[in-house]
């Protein structure tokens, strides 16, 4: 496939994005993600984290800089079906059953009916929705719908999972349960995850690294490595180290927000 030496899962180099309106959403982003990593993007509204996710997914084009995914261009990676995407809303198709929603990408990959059927069963087991195959999306709760959307994203074994605030619309209890479930799935599937969130505890709990971004224009303010052990459990959330990391991310966010600290000031001077 690729003759170059083992490469990063995602390599973002000097990416900027200025919209036609003149708004600079992202300025000079450099980020490297290793295969198997779980990286969260966190930052205030308008820091361009969703924009960055879309640039990585080749859904929008950067104004400057380049993105490499698995050693190839983002466009090539998209055409090679390297991406699975999960949005804040499940974006399920009402006119399809749960099972046929999960098999949508498989249909487009030209899988045979039998193979699709087997995979759908496998995926529904993974997200614990066995028996809901012929239900309609609107018959499920929000959390269940989001699990269907995750099953759909993982169904074709994409090497990179892009998640844009996937649990943002869910209640706290459902969110925490799905966090655990996502970690279990991630560990089983061995894929790389790029995860956009507003929630500091969620970012810390899930990630191997938390990328803290600042707004206007969106920059990387700080990268916080998360050294919590795996597998993470309910007990992880009560770990003293967990709280230290949550505090570290919160402080990095405050600095990035320009609420104090030398770094924030200097960034503004540069701008």
Partner 1 sequence: MALRPALTRVLVFVLVVGALVAAWEGYKALWQATGWGWPFLVNDTTMPHLYDVVRAFWQPTTTGGPPLIRSLLSAALFTMKEAIAGFVLGAVIGFVLAVALAHVRFLERGLMPFVVGSQTVPILAIAPMVVIGLGSKGIEGWQSVAVIAAYLTFFPVTVNTLRGLKSPDPRAVELMESYAASTWSILWRLRVPASLPFIFTALKISATASVIGAIIGETPASIQDGLGGAIVNFNQYYSLQPTFLWATNIVCAMLGLVFFGCVVLAEHLVVRRPPEQLV
Residues at the contact surface with partner 1, assessed by CB under 8 A: 54, 57, 59, 78-81, 83-85, 87, 89, 91, 93-96, 104-105, 107-109, 136, 138, 162
Q: Which of 56, 86, 53 is nearest to 72 (CA)?
A: 56
Q: How far is the CB of 91 from partner 1 (least distance, A)?
A: 5
Q: What is the dihedral of CA 18, 19, 21, 25, to 10 degrees?
A: -60
Q: Of 92 and 182, which has the nearer Cβ to partner 1?
A: 92
Q: How far is the CB of 3 from partner 1 (least distance, A)?
A: 23
Q: Is 69 exposed, middle or buried (0-12, 13-18, 19+ CB in 10 A)?
A: buried
Q: Of 3 and 21, which has the nearer Cβ to partner 1?
A: 21
Q: Which of 211, 170, 176 is nearest to 42 (CA)?
A: 211
Q: Of 10 and 249, which has the nearer Cβ to partner 1?
A: 10
DSSP class of 20: T
Q: How far is the CB of 35 from partner 1 (least distance, A)?
A: 19
Q: Of 127 and 253, which has the nearer Cβ to partner 1?
A: 127
55 Cβ contact partners less than 8 Å away, ≥ 6 residues apart: 12, 15, 17, 26, 61, 62, 67, 74
Q: How far is the CB of 138 from partner 1 (least distance, A)?
A: 4
Reported residue count of the chain is 271
Q: Of 140 and 221, which has the nearer Cβ to partner 1?
A: 140
Q: Of 89 and 251, which has the nearer Cβ to partner 1?
A: 89
249 close to 56: Cβ distance less than 8 angstroms: no
Q: How far is the CB of 227 from partner 1 (least distance, A)?
A: 32
135 Cβ contact partners less than 8 Å away, ≥ 6 residues apart: 97, 98
150 close to 191: Cβ distance less than 8 angstroms: no
Q: How far is the CB of 252 from partner 1 (least distance, A)?
A: 29
What DSSP element (H or E) covers 220? strand 219-225
Chain centroid offset of residue 180 CA: 15
Q: How far is the CB of 170 from partner 1 (least distance, A)?
A: 17
DSSP class of 218: B
Q: Of 91 and 254, which has the nearer Cβ to partner 1?
A: 91
């Amino acid at each position: 496939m690729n003759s170059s030496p083992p490469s990063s899962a995602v390599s973002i180099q000097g990416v900027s994005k200025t919209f036609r309106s003149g708004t600079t959403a992202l300025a000079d982003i450099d980020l490297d993600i290793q295969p198997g990593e779980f990286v969260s993007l966190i930052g205030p509204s308008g820091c361009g984290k969703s924009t960055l996710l879309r640039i990585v997914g080749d859904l929008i084009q950067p104004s400057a800089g380049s993105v490499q995914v698995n050693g190839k261009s983002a466009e090539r990676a998209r055409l090679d079906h390297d991406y699975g995407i999960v949005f804040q809303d499940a974006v399920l198709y009402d006119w399809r059953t749960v099972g046929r929603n999960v098999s949508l990408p498989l249909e487009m990959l030209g899988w045979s009916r039998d193979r699709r059927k087997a995979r759908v069963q496998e995926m529904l087991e993974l997200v614990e929705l066995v028996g809901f195959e012929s239900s309609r999306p609107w018959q499920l709760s929000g959390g269940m719908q989001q699990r269907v959307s995750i099953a759909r994203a993982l169904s074709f074994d994409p090497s990179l999972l892009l998640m844009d605030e996937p649990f943002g619309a869910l209640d706290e209890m459902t969110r925490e349960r799905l966090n655990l479930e996502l970690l279990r799935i991630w560990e089983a599937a061995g894929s790389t995850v790029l995860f956009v969130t507003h929630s500091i505890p969620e970012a810390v709990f899930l990630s191997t690294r938390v990328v803290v971004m600042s707004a206007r224009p969106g920059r990387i303010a700080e990268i916080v490595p998360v050294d919590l052990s795996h597998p993470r459990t309910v007990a992880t959330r009560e770990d003293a180290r967990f709280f230290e990391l949550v505090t570290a991310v919160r402080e990095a966010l405050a600095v990035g927000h320009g609420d104090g600290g030398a770094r924030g000031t200097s960034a503004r001077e540069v701008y």
